[in-house]
Amino acid sequence: MVSGKHLKDAIFAGEALLRKEMDFINAINVYPVADADTGTNMYNTIKGIADIIQDREEERADKMAEAIAEAALEAARGNSGTIISQYFWGFSEAIQGKHILTVPDLADAFVEAKEWAYQAVSNPVEGTMLTTMRAAADAAKALRDEKDPLSFANKVYQNALAALERTPEMLAKLGKPKIIDSGAYGYTLILEGFIHAFGGKIDGFRVRGMAAEQESPREDVGTLYCSNFMLDLDDGATAGEIRRAIQPYGDSIVVVGGRGKMKVHIHTDRPDKVRKILEGFGKVVQERIDKIW
């Protein structure tokens, strides 16, 4: 059964996950504007909620959900944060009067939360966090007969992940780059927070596939090259680490891959330097350097 403490733990787990992934979410932020702030807004929203409720000791689930919803109204930042604030408000509305939550209560909460999230947006667009919220709600509705909250949350999460994987196609239809939606990914981390709070863990799964205009501290621009590398990775390197390493040397950085391979694209005036850095992460098995100007 799920108590107020579990809900509080879910927020803190979600905050930790968003803190870890904030830069990545910013980097893949292309919708509605590629202003690289969805990760910051989502993190600041959840952190703001966590700060407000941190001293609140409440076993009753409905009271804790209410505290979270109130805090979210205060802490919400940006479009994504505002949608999340309404999501928590809907969640809280659905469980009024419930001291302890059963799986059917949780299912009702996820469904109502999704409804409120959609109402928060005057023109709901699919391919965004709303899509993953809907997928979670649909799964929750279908899983009302589950007995164990952890198993329930895991399956809800997996359904949201499946929807997340479809967001690149949906965003492409909106004329955006074909990458996962930043807010949708952020929402799956909030769901993951529930799994942690219920005593579970997601084993090593992180969605990685990224594209974003990156900031560059470089001001001097000589000859600029469109540089593409294919990399056979040594163990453990992530797209985020590679991106951070080459970021000072250019922009329009794209790092995509998985299962030991990574494709790297960068506009740089130092392709030789970038290559050297990449060799620190594994073997460069292919490269193509084209002059831009």
CB of 185 to other proteins, least distance (A): 18
Tokens, residue 40: 């910051």
Rounded to whole angstroms, the Cα distance separating 264 from 177 reads 16
- For other proteins, the closer of residues 79 and 159 by Cβ is 79
Sign of CA dihedral 140, 146, 149, 153: negative
CB of 25 to other proteins, least distance (A): 13
Rounded to whole angstroms, the Cα distance separating 68 from 77 reads 15
Residues in contact with other proteins by CB under 8 A are 32-37, 40-41, 44, 73-79, 81-82, 85-86, 120-122, 213-217, 219, 221, 224, 251-252, 267, 292
CB of 109 to other proteins, least distance (A): 19
223 closest CA partner among 269, 270, 156:
269
- For other proteins, the closer of residues 120 and 163 by Cβ is 120
- For other proteins, the closer of residues 69 and 160 by Cβ is 69
| 20: three-class secondary structure by DSSP | helix
DSSP state of 101: B
- For other proteins, the closer of residues 41 and 227 by Cβ is 41
Does an H or E element contain 230, and which?
strand 225-233
232 φ, ψ to 5°? -90, 115
- For other proteins, the closer of residues 74 and 232 by Cβ is 74
- For other proteins, the closer of residues 234 and 290 by Cβ is 290
Strand order in the sheet with 250-258: 210-211, 250-258, 261-268, 225-233, 282-291
CB of 75 to other proteins, least distance (A): 7
CB of 2 to other proteins, least distance (A): 26
Tokens, residue 165: 């994987």
Q: How many residues does the chain have?
A: 293
CB of 30 to other proteins, least distance (A): 9
Alpha helices in the chain (DSSP H): 4-27, 38-53, 61-75, 78-94, 103-119, 129-142, 149-173, 182-197, 239-246, 271-279
- For other proteins, the closer of residues 23 and 126 by Cβ is 23
CB of 253 to other proteins, least distance (A): 10
